[in-house]
Amino acid sequence: MAATDDLEKIRRQFDYGPYPRVAIDKTPKDDPNVLFVHDLVTPFYVRDHRVPQTKGKRILDAGCGTGYKSLVLAIANPGAEIVGIDLSPESVKLAAERLKFHHFDNVYFEVRSILDLPSWGEQFDYINCDEVLYLLPDPVEGLNALKSVLKPDGILRSNLHSALQRFPFFRAQNLFKLMGLMDENPEEMEMDIVRDIMKELKDGVDLKARTWNPHYEQQESNETLLANHLLVADKGSTIPQLFQYLEAAGLEFISMVNWRHWNLVDLFKDPENLPTFLALSLPDVPQSVQLEMYELLHPVHRLLDFWCSPQPRATVADLGEWSEAQWDQSTVHLHPQLCTEAIKEKWLGYLNDRMIVDLGTFMSFSSPTPVYVDPLGLATLLPLFDHPLAFPDLCDRYQCLAPLDPVTLEPIEPRVARQQLQALLTRLELSLFVLVSLP
């Protein structure tokens, strides 16, 4: 009964304040970072080291809210069918209006609880369940429900609130529960009371210092208050709990969505000169433990944002460990979210000006540090805007563009050209600017 009551309170809260409140005419089509996350090519490549086609794929946006992420999914995955569900009828109505406004026809919405999915009888290649799992009464029940409509080779993206990073807001929620402000669904009166209390607290009071901004005193901040200080059913989890939930649901962890921002060694002054104990032991430390260590040291991520699947990640060696035979069988792609006319035009401009370019200029999400490419690299990769190339063909192009050794001025040897191109692709693949797939 308590779980049912919680779901009803959640439904009422999001009927009252549909989320997210994004203008209906806003489009993410020029934001490669958000499209990179929601392009199913990204997690499928991370798991399988292959590049799938998006056409014909079925994608479920579970907890679609007002449909902005559904719009992102539709733009990021050309030719895919998008199905959105949400507990809130008002949110579903707004989502349908949004996708119609942007002229997407292969998108469907309906009012449905995630916990009702096992009886639905549908199957999806990819599920996006964003900002929902931490509101459900039992995250494992939620994961099991989502798994029931996921194809055996499908991928699920979901997230949990971090118990460590989010702790001040949980304190605020407990305070306002104690005051009776969350007995029913918080609305205008409750938000005004929160504003009055937080505004009049001394600036040095810890809760105010950690959770408040003067901007929240304005009416325009209603969405922020409802999503933080007064969020019904909000819960936090730790990294160990995340892995416990996945194990209980029979799901395999693939990666954190923002995996490059969870690198433990990046927290040290000199990653190449770690303390002796860590340098010796870290290579044998499981990924789950490294993630836990990161969060204990530096809990800056609000979301424990992850990809998981019924099947484990493929055991493919890093590119730096590939044999020459593997390289010769491989195909090189630009990430689809780099393959736009706007980025190609900028790329050509930098190439004409003989500039060294940070590829983060085009798409920064996957790389916390600059990734520089010289004009030779830009010119070599240019044909990938039109289609992928087999590695030997790309190697031939590289050798044509760099015909002379800069020291001896003799023609560059094919062996050296291969090594240089392999080093470039290995560096760029780390941030998924390029994708190198095997048959």
Residue 125 reports pLDDT greater than 80: yes
The reported pTM is 0.94
Among candidate residues 310, 299, 332, 302, the one with its CA nearest the CA of residue 398: 332
Look at residue 118 in the predicted model and tell me its pLDDT: 95
Neighbouring residues of 122: CB distance < 8 A, sequence distance ≥ 6 = 58, 60, 83, 149
H-only helix segments in 353-413 = 375-381, 391-401
Look at residue 296 in the predicted model and tell me its pLDDT: 98
Q: What angle do CA 361, 365, 369 make, to 5 degrees?
A: 65
Among candidate residues 248, 234, 255, 235, the one with its CA nearest the CA of residue 305: 255
* Residue 389, beta-bridge partner list: 332
Residue 4 reports pLDDT greater than 80: no
| 3 state DSSP class of 286 | coil
Residue 83 reports pLDDT greater than 70: yes
Distance CA 255, CA 251 (A): 12
Burial (CB count within 10 angstroms: exposed 0-12, middle 13-18, buried 19+), residue 305: buried
The helix-helix angle for 287-297 and 239-249 (nearest 10°) equals: 150
Residue 1 reports pLDDT greater than 70: no
State which amino acid sits at residue 213.
N
